[in-house]
């Protein structure tokens, strides 16, 4: 399997290309879809994550062939590129390779504090940094993201990236609690874009009124003057007033 690959379906709402450097992720988020895709348990997926075999050599070979390609490469869908110190070293080398071949990149991580080690690469190449932020409550974070960094570290680190002129965005997906999602929007209204998506693959999501979620999250974004994009699987629930502003609203 290629390290860099072309995305399709729902994933295209994030990027045209992606690269997966690791198998497994130590964050152990209970809503993670990756164990099901790999036909394993969350415990197995999170207990011993490792870089893929010969990943940097293969990545460089593929990057060289894509030299100068204008499509963005997302790190990553199948693991967090900064889930550990060791992972951060591999991710750094991957970013150096992307820079070498003039490739565009955006990173989605729950550990932007660790990603700050590479802030010069982001600034120099005009790359994007994003974090997943679902909660302001540490109790809820520990319940659903037991191995992930604190919410405060994400808020503060993303502000540092933003202050350095890096394009920053936040993924509030899956929305598990509307009040928490609204709290995240209030805390992170400084970012360039907020992406909002519903909770899937869990029976508890059926108890949530998604039209209310779409209306209240987008309304708060407009009030605070922060651009947003409502993911397709949530936008289908939007009421007419919410739809009147469009699926993507620019501040």
Per-residue confidence of the chain (251 residues) as pLDDT tens digits?
789 999 988 889 989 999 999 998 999 999 998 888 889 998 998 898 999 999 999 999 999 999 999 999 999 888 999 999 999 999 999 999 999 999 999 999 999 999 999 999 999 999 999 999 999 999 999 999 999 999 999 999 999 999 999 999 999 999 999 999 999 999 999 999 999 999 988 888 999 999 999 999 999 999 999 999 999 999 999 999 999 999 999 99
Which residue, among 117, 129, 123, 127, has the nearest Cα to 90 in the 3D structure? 117
pTM exceeding 0.85? yes
In three-state secondary structure terms, 208 is: coil
Determine contact, residues 21/90, Cβ cutoff 8 Å: yes
Which residue, among 94, 82, 102, has the nearest Cα to 55 in the 3D structure? 94
Which residue's structure tokens are 């995240």? Answer: 184
Interacting residues of 121 by C-beta distance below 8 A, sequence separation 6+? 92, 95, 96, 99, 127
């Amino acid at each position: 399997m290629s390290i860099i690959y072309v995305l399709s379906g729902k994933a295209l709402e994030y990027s045209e290309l992606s690269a997966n450097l690791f198998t497994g992720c130590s964050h152990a988020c209970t809503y993670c879809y990756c164990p099901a895709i790999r036909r394993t348990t969350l415990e197995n997926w999170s207990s011993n994550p490792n870089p893929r075999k010969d990943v940097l050599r293969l990545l460089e070979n593929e990057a060289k062939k894509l030299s100068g390609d204008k499509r963005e490469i997302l790190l990553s869908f199948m693991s967090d590129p900064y889930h550990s110190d060791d992972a951060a070293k591999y991710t750094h080398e991957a970013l150096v390779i992307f820079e070498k071949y003039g490739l565009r990149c955006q990173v989605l991580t729950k550990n932007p504090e660790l990603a700050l080690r590479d802030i010069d690469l982001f600034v120099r190449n005009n790359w994007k940094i994003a974090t997943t932020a679902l909660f302001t409550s540490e109790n809820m974070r520990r319940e659903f993201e037991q191995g992930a960094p604190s919410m405060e570290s994400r808020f503060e680190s993303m502000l540092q990236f933003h202050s350095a002129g890096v394009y920053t965005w936040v993924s509030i997906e899956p929305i598990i609690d509307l009040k928490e999602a609204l709290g995240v929007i209030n805390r992170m209204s400084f970012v360039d874009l907020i992406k909002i998506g519903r909770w899937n693959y869990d029976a508890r999501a059926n108890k949530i009124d998604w039209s209310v979620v779409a209306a209240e999250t987008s309304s708060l974004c407009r009030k605070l003057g922060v651009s947003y994009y409502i993911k397709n699987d949530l936008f289908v629930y939007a009421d007419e007033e919410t739809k009147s502003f469009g699926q993507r609203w620019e501040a």
